[in-house]
Amino acid sequence: MTNLVVLIPIALLLGALGLAAFLWSLRSGQYEDLDGAAERILLDEDKPDGEEVVRRRK
Amino acid sequence: MSCCAPGTEAALDVASPAGPSREEVRFASHNVGGGLMQTDLSVPAIHCGACIQAIESSVGRLAGVEDARVNLSTKRVSVRWRGEAPPPIVQTLNGLGYAAHLFDTDGEGKDRVLAELMRAVAISGFAAANIMLLSVSVWSGAEDATRDLFHWLSALIAIPALFFAGRIFFRSAWAALSHGRMNMDVPIALGVSLAYGMSLFETINHGPHAYFDASVSLLFFLLIGRTLDHVMRERTREAVTGLAKLAPRGAMVVRHGGSHHYLPLPEIEPGMRILIAAGERIPVDGFVVRGSSDLDCALVTGESAPQAAVSGTVVRAGMLNLARPLTVEATAAAKDSFLSEMVRMMEAAEGGRARYRRIADRASALYSPVVHLTALLTFLGWMAATGDWHRALTIAIAVLIITCPCALGLAVPIVQVVAARRLFENGIMVKDGSAMERMAEIDSVVFDKTGTLTTGVPVLADANEIDAADLGIAAAMAAHSRHPFSKAIVAAGTGLPSVAFDSVDEVAGNGIETTLDGATWRLGRADWAISESHRGHLAADGTVLSCNGAMRAVFRFEEKLRPGAKHAVSELKARGIDIDMISGDQPQAVKAIADKLAIDSFHAAALPGDKAEHLAAMAHERRKVLMIGDGLNDAPALAAAHVSMAPATAADIGRNAADFVFLREGLEAVPFALDVARKANRLIRQNFALAIGYNLLAVPIAVSGHVTPLIAAVAMSLSSIVVIANAMRLTGAAQAADVMRDPHSPLAQTTLAEAS
């Protein structure tokens, strides 16, 4: 019983962290262009303007 | 995959008239704060990673551009810029080989409904997983204080899920009930809230059974179905609205002093004089006051041959000016023009569609009363038998939970989402699920001619009979004109050596005149090109090439059939579907196409109202008609049909009226869409049978009082999984077979490419 007092909150906390991460990624627009995201990984990221664009898109 | 070539060419060809001007871009931009303006453009030709890079880097480099972002899924570019005048975004895109169209965002921004659904899915998923974790412990033997603790924790976790995720169902159920109607959400809302209430009561009283997991995982499953359904519709809507806007947003008005002003469309009034450059569409009804040109009326009347326009010619909104600038005096404001007339006719024509009730609604209208009645009878029965109200109520609620239409709620949307995805992969977009259900019912198809069965672009019919030298000269001359016949000659003469002329002059309404080594060459109307002395016994008509008044070659043009038209017609006939053709074009042109395609029934010279009436008459005979058309003049007929389909090149209004929009050239899309719809319909019916079968098994167990939370969870998950698995059969090999039969169809080639 005593170990449950520790383990259950940990389990819930981890779950909540995952949920929070998902909600954050949803809000910051990471699901708006799934096809584009798949292609962008192939693009050359060295270019400064490319990085800039990615950073500013919050 | 080769980059950019196929899509780009097609898009350029469709939209070669320049694209939106800078004034139009400014009208369509909106302020995003901090002096920053945002312009959203639809660029249908974007299709790969290289496109993203090319566009973002070159548009991003323009002076004044803050950033440029490509969205590959929606094929849009959003550009933020500073300053007074917009940077030359469209010109830059055109320079890269992409046609760009303004995109009206109407300030909608992000999709709020989707965001809410996704949040609800996430929260209910989190809650369902954690509660299931605790429930499994209870099922595997946790007792007394531990079990109570787990139940209390479950109750706690379920609260946000019920509040956030359940809200969607409660809202919809309440809306239905307050209007005295029933929908699938009523038993869902009732089941979920009663399950929670009873479980809470059990928990307080240290009872052994709690249904928190059932109530939350039910929400989770149903929300997945609902989210998929929404994503499908939204994706289609975006793709449809994101296509070329054909109607202009403004026009260059000439004031009395001779000054030019660019005015937005609603501000144009009768009496104003409007300058229409070559390649622009006429914005309002009016008549020509100065200039002469040729007009492409295909979208307005369905006539395939261009019409000459001279001073005094009456023009209608939507016609495309092909050759030379025209000055037009407006006779009607935009809201009273041809386009608006079509909108009014469409509203009047709205027929079968409004009356159609979706399968899911029909099922729930039967299902809900039966479920509620069963639960009530169970309660009364147990009350009569035992007199123990707590037990009677517990069992009645268990009946409600186990009959909660989880599988039924998924039965329709999951199949339609899978079907829509199949169609989408093959370049067909569906407006909503009801369109697919109606498509499966059709028994006749009515085609429009110009732009639907044909590409609307003429081709040279007798290129082989013309001397290569003459064709070379004609092609070089035709390259100076935008007339569709000229384009056909240029296309036929590609590869021939080019000729440099001493002078070139386009005579509007007649043709092109050039001089070459002292000789005068004319390409155009026969009675203009051939001089009196040479005409003699020859009947002077058609398009000819002449040298110093003597005829050198005659050009005959024919309409090019849309690829796959023959295949589509024969496939549809093989499925026992009646085929009809109705067009606004001249009878002989219509008959020629009908003969080519072996269509027995056709109607020519039909006005827009005639088309809609024809469809209404067919509906009156209880025929279920699929209408396929592209023009403004087809829009009322598209609205009047049982279900309708339009190519992506169609006029806005037609595309918006259509239930299906196909993006690729080929007409194979029609039999393909029909097959997918029919197959989907079969699977939906199977799913209903499965869901009902499940209930027939589960309800007796529930009524007899033997359902535990474990049985409920297993039964519900199992039925949902079976239904989903059945829907996935639509992606299987059986579907591919029909397309593969013709290995030359573009559809088959794409599918093959995807498969390999």
pLDDT tens digits, B50-67: 888 888 888 888 888 888
Which of B3, B55, B57 best tests the A interface by mutation, with the highest count of A CBs <10 A?
B57
Query: Which percentage of chain B shows pLDDT scores above 90?
Result: 5
Which residue from B minimizes the CA distance to A42? B49
Decide which of B688 and B142 is more confident. Answer: B688
- Tell me the C-alpha to C-alpha distance, in Å, between residue B147 and each of B155, B156, B428: 12, 14, 53
A36·B129 Cβ contact <8 A = no
Q: What is the pLDDT of residues A26-54, one digit of tens each?
A: 888 787 777 788 888 887 665 555 444 44
What pLDDT does B508 receive?
A: 67
Strands B601-603 and B511-516: unpaired
**CA of B684 vs chain A CAs: smallest distance (Å):** 29
| Tokens read off for B81 | 């810029």
pLDDT at B526 over 80: no
Which residues in A lie closer than 8 A to residue B74 (C-beta atoms)? Answer: 33
Q: Average pLDDT of chain B? A: 79
What pLDDT does B678 receive?
A: 92
Region B107-120 average pLDDT: 74
DSSP assignment of B13-39 equals HHH-S--S-HHHHHHH-EEEETTEEEE
B122·A8 Cβ contact <8 A = no
Which residue from B minimizes the CA distance to A57? B69
Which residues in A lie closer than 8 A to residue B72 (C-beta atoms)? Answer: 33, 35-36, 39
Which of B40, B66, B67, B117 best tests the A interface by mutation, with the highest count of A CBs <10 A?
B67
**CA of B73 vs chain A CAs: smallest distance (Å):** 5
B110·A36 Cβ contact <8 A = no
- Confidence band, pLDDT 50/70/90 cuts, at residue B750: very low
CB atoms within 10 A of CB B454: 26
What pLDDT does B278 receive?
A: 77
Of A19, A47, A57, the CB nearest to B123: A19
What pLDDT does B238 receive?
A: 63
Strands B643-647 and B625-628: parallel
A39·B72 Cβ contact <8 A = yes
| Tokens read off for B245 | 């806007």
**CA of B286 vs chain A CAs: smallest distance (Å):** 44
Separation CA B206–CA B204 (nearest Å):
6
pLDDT at B745 over 50: no
Which residue from B minimizes the CA distance to A24? B119
Which residue from A minimizes the CA distance to B119? A23
Of B53, B119, B153, the CB nearest to A23: B119
| Tokens read off for B16 | 């070669």
Which of B69, B111, B131 best tests the A interface by mutation, with the highest count of A CBs <10 A?
B69
Instruction: State pTM to two decimals.
Output: 0.71
Which residues in B lie closer than 8 A to residue A15 (C-beta atoms)? Answer: 126, 129-130
What pLDDT does B127 receive?
A: 92
Q: What is the pLDDT of residues B227-264, one digit of tens each?
A: 877 776 676 666 655 544 445 567 788 877 777 777 77
B49·A8 Cβ contact <8 A = no
Which residue from B minimizes the CA distance to A41? B49
B67·A29 Cβ contact <8 A = no
Which residues in B lie closer than 8 A to residue A42 (C-beta atoms)? Answer: 49
pLDDT at A17 over 90: yes
Q: What is the pLDDT of residues B661-703, one digit of tens each?
A: 887 778 888 999 999 999 999 998 898 888 888 888 888 888 8
Which residue from A minimizes the CA distance to B231? A32
Separation CA B29–CA B517 (nearest Å):
52
Point out the least confidently predicted range of B197-206, B310-319, B668-677. Answer: B310-319
Handedness of CA B315, B321, B322, B327 (dihedral sign): positive
B73·A36 Cβ contact <8 A = yes
Centroid of chain to Cα B28: 22
What pLDDT does B536 receive?
A: 59
Three-state SS string across B214-247, please? HHHHHHHHHHHHHHHHHHHHHHHHHHHHCCCCCC
What pLDDT does B380 receive?
A: 92
Separation CA B121–CA B415 (nearest Å):
19
What pLDDT does B247 receive?
A: 53
Active site residue B104: no
| Tokens read off for B415 | 């199949």
Q: Which residues contact B221 (CB under 8 A, 6 or more apart)?
A: B406, B409, B410, B716, B717, B720
A52·B119 Cβ contact <8 A = no
pLDDT at B327 over 50: yes
Separation CA B64–CA B225 (nearest Å):
45
What pLDDT does B754 receive?
A: 38
A49·B146 Cβ contact <8 A = no
Most confident of B72-81, B113-122, B354-363: B113-122
Decide which of B743 and B146 is more confident. Answer: B146
pLDDT at B486 over 60: yes
**CA of A54 vs chain B CAs: smallest distance (Å):** 9
3-state secondary structure at position B72: coil
- Confidence band, pLDDT 50/70/90 cuts, at residue B733: very low
Q: Which of B213, B448, B659, B675 is catalytic?
A: B448
B71·A23 Cβ contact <8 A = no
Query: Which percentage of chain B shows pLDDT scores above 70?
Result: 86
Point out the least confidently predicted range of B116-125, B390-399, B601-610, B743-752. Answer: B743-752
What pLDDT does B495 receive?
A: 74
What pLDDT does B20 receive?
A: 66
- Which residues of B make CB contacts under 8 Å with A? 48-49, 52-53, 56-57, 60-61, 67-74, 110, 115, 118-119, 122-123, 126, 129-130, 133, 145-146, 149, 153, 157
Strands B557-561 and B454-460: antiparallel
pLDDT at B4 over 60: no
Centroid of chain to Cα B401: 39
**CA of B76 vs chain A CAs: smallest distance (Å):** 10
**Nearest CA to B708 among B125, B135, B152?**
B135
Handedness of CA B88, B94, B96, B100 (dihedral sign): positive
B130·A15 Cβ contact <8 A = yes
Which residue from B minimizes the CA distance to A55? B67
Region B567-577 average pLDDT: 89
The interface predicted TM-score of the complex, written ipTM, equals 0.73
**CA of B71 vs chain A CAs: smallest distance (Å):** 6
A49·B57 Cβ contact <8 A = yes
Which residue from A minimizes the CA distance to B111? A32
Separation CA B193–CA B447 (nearest Å):
51
Separation CA B756–CA B745 (nearest Å):
17
B133·A31 Cβ contact <8 A = no
Q: What is the pLDDT of residues B396-423, one digit of tens each?
A: 888 887 877 667 777 787 888 888 878 8
A12·B157 Cβ contact <8 A = yes
B122·A47 Cβ contact <8 A = no
Which residue from B minimizes the CA distance to A16? B126
B52·A31 Cβ contact <8 A = no
- Which residues of A make CB contacts under 8 Å with B? 1, 4, 8, 11-12, 15-16, 18-19, 22-23, 26-27, 29, 31-36, 39-40, 42-44, 47, 49-50, 52-53, 56-57
Which residues in A lie closer than 8 A to residue B67 (C-beta atoms)? Answer: 52-53, 56
B126·A19 Cβ contact <8 A = yes
Which residues in A lie closer than 8 A to residue B118 (C-beta atoms)? Answer: 26, 31
How many interface pairs between A and B have CB atoms less than 8 angstroms apart?
68
| Tokens read off for A39 | 């292609």
What pLDDT does B5 receive?
A: 40
Query: Which percentage of chain A shows pLDDT scores above 70?
Result: 72
